Each structure stands twice: as structure tokens, then as C-alpha cells.
Amino acid sequence: MLWLLGRVAVGAPRLTTWRETRAAFEKLEATYGNGATADSAQYPFWTLHATDALWEIKDAHRIAPLPGRRRPTISVLDQVNPEAGFTPAVYAMLTGDLGLVANAAATLLARFFNPVPVGLVAAVGLDGVVPAGREADLMLPIPGFVAFPKRTAIHAELGGQWTSGIGTLDDGLMCVFSDAKGPYDDQSIPGTDLIEYRGQGLNGDQTLKGGGNAQLLVCQQEQKPIRYWHQPAGGDWGFDTWTVIVDRRLVWGKGEDKQWRREFAWVLAPVPSPFRDQWPQSVLERLAQDDQQTHDETFETEAPTAVTKQDAGRQYRKLCASVERKESLNHGRTTRTASDRYFRSADARIAVMLRAQGMCEKPDCGGQPADVTDRGDAILEVDHVDERAAQGRDHPANMIALCPNCHAIKTRGSTRRDLKRKLKTLAERLHREAEAWENVL
């Protein structure tokens, strides 16, 4: 397909012959073939013809495969040497818009030749329309420049499905879709540039067999680029950034039935381009450190099942103990390892949600929404009082659950400095109180 697009780019005639196609294919295959698909020219030549809309073969009836065969044999093709090419409509569309040629070529490169092998683009005649290093700019959509009111609108323009959180668009590249639900509304991991994406599976423990999690597992193993789509509360869907999976964790989360279960937390690193050779060194290091194992953070604690304040207190202390164990493991360590290159404990966040008991923790809060999320959680955001980036602890004593209004005051309000000082004392006090909940009857 790249060779065919290259022919359009250099102004070659619409039709070519089987023999010319075969010779070009075999030469390219020998140099750039990646073993991903069948290595015989008859496969693309015949299969492209499967729908008449894209590719036509003259006198196709003369080379039709024998009954029970999927493709004509090479000897029949050699003998008849049919002419073939893009259909007149497709050829006119491509020659009339070389931007479309560039877009298609860059997308094929991202999907099948990543990083782009040196010399390939020139070898297929595409160097005039796909300048080296510019491939990502030619792909649509461009991150940060699209807004869709609904998933169905994305589907209408870019294909793919419109219900699942994980899946490909029509260009075959993987996407994850994240909407603003749950305690962290943007799913960014505080104090890092990483994004956490919760896996697929409505109820019960999630698995890696089948469905979206299985697709993401392949992306992690093959370090494939993934489009990260996000819909902020009340806003439009946007394609925020390209990402790549750098870690996979298992954490506690609530299913649609509001029962606690084990969920996959896929850790995504934003990258400026889908092309691996344009990824920053820090991301390549994370990828090199990824041992591809599931890092289970649920084995140390039971599922949070608090019903009374005594249970809540017991659970709270257990979660805090787990957080502190991890803190001591990481204490004083200066090398960057898989466990401390970023560190946010799911346990710390769950503990704070438990402590908040569904209410914004700011004492004079006046604006908490009465509604709950689809998962049945209060609409709260768990925030670090001293930011992680400023060496703040990832511990409930330094964390607070705030409603979106109070959270906005803490980040953007004119009183934020004063508020932060108060919240610091408050978080410490609430932490001590929750730890003592056992004594409450």
C-alpha cells in the first residue's frame, strides 16, 4: 500500500501490471519486511481487490482462484499478467489531494513500521509528501485540536466503536477513552506526568483474558502508541495526547454493582508522537524498566468493606499501614527503580475516601454536589495538600478529599495559600481521628 501511495505521489499512471507489482513488492519485502503478514505479493494484490471500491484488477475473471482456494496461484498471475490499480474514483481523490496520501502513508507507518526504517519512505517514493520527522503531524486527528460532544460523533468521523472504553478507530490504532468519573477527575497521577487508566470489566475482578484489557496487554508488550481521549465533567471529548503503557498494576476499585473488586490500572506515559524514535529518553527508560508483570497492590489489603465506623477505622489503619510499608521500602532510595519512579498508592486514596464518608472534608464547604458518580461514589477529588512534586507525602495525613468547588479554590482561588495552611493542619487532624475510629461506638 505504501508503494501504491508512492506511485500516486510521484505521478505514476493509475494502472500497473502484476509483474511490476510483484517485482517491487519482493524488493521492498527483502529490505523492509517485518514478517508481520504473508510475504507473497499475490496476497495484497488479490486481497485489495476484495472490495471493488478501492482497487480494481482488469480481467479479474480470467485469474479467479480455483474453487475452494482463496487466491489465484502465482503461475496464473504470471501467465495472465493483469493490469491493476486504484479505482478511477480513488485515484482521482488521491491525486487531487496529496495531503490525503500523506495522511494515509503516515498512519500506515505508525501502525506497521514503528520506528520508521531508514530509507523506506524514499524507497517507495513518498519522501516528497512525508518529510522525515514530520510523520506525526500528517496524521489525523492532531492531539489537542478536536472536540466531540459525544462518542457517537467520534465514531461518525473516525470510525471504531462508540461504547467501549478501549478500542481502535478505523485506522487500526488503539484508543482509550476516559471520562470524568471517580475520585480523580482527570486521572493524571499527582506529582508525575503519568496517566492512570482503569481497565475494562463492569463487575467482578478484571482479567487479562479477552476484551479491552487483552488488547491493552498486547499494546504494553509491543509498546504500541495509544490515543488518550478524555472528557472532562460537562465538557466535550478531546484527543488529549498520544501515550504508551509503561506499567500495569492491580488495585481495588468499585464495579458497576458498587462492589469492590480488583481492577487493572494501566499506567500511560504521554508521548509527543506515535513514532517511537520521537519519544523522550525518560519514557524510553520507563519502557526499558517495565518488567511486563502485573504489580498487584491488592494483596496487602482486603477489599474495603467498611459498614460501621469501627470497621472503617480498622480498614483505615490497615490501608495506612500498607502505605507506610511502601514508604519505608522507598525511603532513602536514590536509584530510579520500577517501584519508585513514580509512586502513588491506591491504598492512600481509598483510605481518604473512606475517611471522608462521602462528604467534602473542607469544614465550611458550601457547594458539594448532591449527585453521585455512576459508580455510586460521592463527587469528590482526592488531593495532596503538599504536592508530590514538592516532596509532599503520598499518605492520608497529607491528603484531603474535596468537592470540585473546594478543589478549585485550593488550586485557583485568591485565598489558596491561606487555605493550604489550614488544610495541612486539618488533614493531619482528620487522619488522627480516623485512626482512632475503633473507639467510636
* DSSP secondary structure letter of residue 144: T
Of 134 and 421, nearer to Zn ion (C-beta) is: 421
Of 139 and 409, nearer to Zn ion (C-beta) is: 409
- Quote the CA–CA distance of 92 and 100 in Å, as a whole number: 11
Grid cell, residue 258, equals 458498587
DSSP single-letter state for residue 224: -
Minimum distance from residue 401 beta carbon to Zn ion (Å):
9
Q: Are 324 and 396 in contact (CB under 8 A)?
A: no
Are 263 and 252 in contact by the 8 Å Cβ rule? The answer is: yes
- Min dist. Cβ of residue 356 to Zn ion (A): 10
Which one of 8, 57, 129, 360 is in contact with Zn ion (CB under 5 A)?
360
We find the least distance from the C-beta atom of residue 384 to Zn ion, in angstroms, to be 17
Compute the least distance from the CB of residue 404 to Zn ion, in Å. Answer: 8
> How many angstroms separate the Cα of 388 from the Cα of each of 186, 338, 344, 383?
16, 18, 9, 10
Site for Zn ion in 267-326 (CB under 5 A): none
Stretch that binds Zn ion, among 89-97, 297-305, 325-333, 400-408 (CB under 5 A): 400-408
Longest dimension (CA), the chain: 91
Q: How far is the CB of 144 from Zn ion (least distance, A)?
A: 30
**Which residue's CB is nearer to Zn ion, number 136 or number 406?**
406
Of 1 and 365, nearer to Zn ion (C-beta) is 365
Q: What is the DSSP string of 350-406?
A: HHHHHHHTTS-SSTT-----S-B-TTS-BS-EEEESS-GGGT--SSGGGEEEE-HHH
Q: Pick the closer one to Zn ion by CB: 128 or 369.
A: 369
**Distance from C-alpha of 313 to C-alpha of 316, rounded to nearest angstrom:** 5
Q: Which is nearer to Zn ion, 169 or 402 (CB)?
A: 402
Question: β-pairing, 294-296 with 238-254?
Answer: parallel
Quick one: which of 224, 171, 228 has its CA closest to 198? 228
Q: Which residues contact 335 (CB under 8 A, 6 or more apart)?
A: none
- Residue with Cβ nearer Zn ion (135 or 361): 361
Q: In sequence order, what DSSP letters do the residues of 344-359 get, joined into one string?
A: --HHHHHHHHHHHTTS
Name the segment binding Zn ion (CB under 5 A); options: 82-90, 330-338, 364-372, 391-399.
364-372
Shortest reach from residue 361's CB to Zn ion, in Å: 8
The interface region with Zn ion, picked from 269-277, 285-293, 341-349, 357-365 by CB under 5 A, is: 357-365
Given the DSSP bridges, would you call strands 399-402 and 381-384 parallel, antiparallel or unpaired? antiparallel
The size of the interface with Zn ion (CB under 5 A), counted in residues, is 6
Site string for Zn ion, 368-387 (x = CB under 5 A): x-------------------
At closest approach, how far in Å is the CB of 433 from Zn ion? 18
Cβ nearer to Zn ion, comparing 354 with 403? 403
Instruction: Name the minimum Å distance from CB 411 to Zn ion.
Output: 13
Q: Name the minimum Å distance from CB 368 to Zn ion.
A: 5
Per-residue cell: 411: 488550586
Which range in 15-23, 288-296, 359-367, 374-382 contacts Zn ion by CB under 5 A? 359-367
CB of 355 to Zn ion, least distance (A): 15
Q: How far is the CB of 234 from Zn ion (least distance, A)?
A: 17
Please give the backbone phi and psi of residue 253, each rounded to the nearest 5 degrees, phi first: -155, 170
- Of 100 and 409, which has the nearer Cβ to Zn ion? 409
Q: Return the ∠ at Cα 15 (arms to 109 and 66), rounded to 5°.
A: 90
Tell me whether residue 23 or residue 359 sits nearer to Zn ion (CB atom). 359
Which CB sits closer to Zn ion, 317 or 422? 422
The helix/strand/coil state of 244 is: strand
Among 230, 362, 384, 395, binds Zn ion (CB under 5 A): 362
**Does 403 sit near Zn ion (CB under 5 A)?**
yes
Considering only the stretches 138-146, 201-209, 361-369, 387-395, report the one whose residues sit in contact with Zn ion under the rule CB under 5 A.
Answer: 361-369
| Cα distance between residue 113 and residue 391, in whole Å | 41
Burial 66-75 (b: 16+ CB within 10 A, else e): eeeeebbeee
User: Footprint of Zn ion on this chain (CB under 5 A)?
Assistant: 360, 362, 365, 368, 403, 406
